[in-house]
Structure 1
Amino acid sequence: MSQTPPFQIKIVPVTPFQQNCSLIRARNGSIAVIDPGGEVDRLIAEADAWDGKIEKIWLTHGHLDHAGGAMELKEKTGAIIEGAQEEEVFWLSQISEQIKRFGTHMEAKNVTPDRWLDDGDTVELDGNVFEVIFTPGHTPGHVVFFNRHMKIAFVGDVLFKGSIGRTDFPRGDHATLIASITEKLWPLGNDVQFVPGHGPLSTFGHERQSNPFVGDAVVGRAGANTQGPG
């Protein structure tokens, strides 16, 4: 007899950027929302349809398409905001400026997390523990959320299927990003599935075999920068 999984995942692409916002529902109905970039009322409706209550908001980083709806979601649900790492104040404190820069008509507020996170910390949802992995490079305070039991990672804009995150934004660094992927993510295991900030899911093993920027065949030699989707 198969056991009910300890949590379920629903991926909801939001905003014109089609950012993968993830809703995690524990068995008791509590929900964590990872990277609510916008369309807050839609996210709340998704939680209601799932017979759940949004209690946690987890941020991988502070770019508009990932954090733009965080404060509104907190105001409407009472959920607490955890993440990213404290260096991400650089981006979270200027979300309103990002709106002007991207020329979008989105409404968004600067974010003040209830709790900053750092490497080795954990976040929790109804007993489900997610490890926090500090993965700078795309942004200075980027983090990844990893559940070891289910072997799944929510990687924001660090890694994509067939690509890696952009490093041409302020305080991005290509070499740091490569190190974050190869030194922090690869050791978690080839069988780990990951949810990227944009696009389809993949596994670390698949990317080690085929990713043209960070696969095993190219690690150790200079790789060209990428203008990836994030």
Structure 2
Amino acid sequence: MEVYHVTEDAETFTCNAYLAVDEQATLVDAGAMDGVVDEIRSHTDDLEAVVLTHQHGDHVAQLETVVESFDPDVYAYADHPARTHPIDDGDTVRIGDEEFDVVFTPGHADDHVSFVSDSTLFSGDVVVHDDGAFDYGSFGRTDMAGQSRGRLIESIRELLERMPDGVEHMYAGHGSVFHGDVRDVVETSLKRAEKREPKYPDE
């Protein structure tokens, strides 16, 4: 599956938004970068679907602009004016040329879901490879109102139970793309989260 990081050159704060162009052109999160539509158009003129990991502003600020430009189907766990298809834990969605299981992974956000196939994990903000706090195996922040470290830990455990052993590509909402032993990264994230120490101790 060919995946492009379409917010990689953003100069303002945004999530990582990913475009899979094989078979069904699909955007995972819309991001908050002005010009994301132009970046998508540099790879495809026919965006068929957008799937959302969650609806924090850095993940959905450009959603309406993307929808106005391409009129894609929009898959989301929580309600949104642009949503055309609700998704829930245990559902499947197509991203590019692969079928992904929807795994409900709250803690960082009440509506957070992750998408996992036999080879690939789109983890949103529940687990990331590196993000400034840790260089290998980090996790979403839980120090703001409505967030829960305990629930996040449960979500990471659930993700490990549902994730096949052969997953080797991880596209997270922040930090860098990772190719390799994704299970080891997620297990490292879980160990760090379980310590319940502040992720950003200076804040």
Q: TM-score, normalised by structure 1?
A: 0.72
Aligned ranges 1:12-161 → 2 under 5 Å: 12-13=6-7, 14=10, 16-27=12-23, 30-39=24-33, 42-83=35-76, 85-86=77-78, 89=79, 111-125=81-95, 128-148=98-118, 151-161=119-129
Contact kept, 8 Å, 1:8 with 1:26, in 2: the verdict is yes
Larger Rg: 1
Matching residue of 1:224: 197
Instruction: Find out whether 1:214 has 2:184 as its counterpart.
Output: no
Instruction: Find out whether 1:201 has 2:169 as its counterpart.
Output: no
Matching residue of 2:134: none
Contact kept, 8 Å, 1:61 with 1:156, in 2: the verdict is yes
Matching residue of 2:155: 180
Matching residue of 1:98: none
| CA gap 1:128/1:153 in 2 versus in 1, 3 angstroms | same
Q: Per-residue CA shift, 1:101-145, capped at 9, x if unaligned?
A: xxxxxxxxxx54122211111112576312111101101110011
In structure 2, what is the Cα distance between the partners aligned to 1:180 and 1:127? 26
Q: Tell me, which stretches of 5 or more residues in structure 2 are unaligned?
A: 130-136
Matching residue of 1:8: 2
RMSD: 2.5
| CA gap 1:204/1:225 in 2 versus in 1, 3 angstroms | farther
Q: TM-score, normalised by structure 2?
A: 0.81
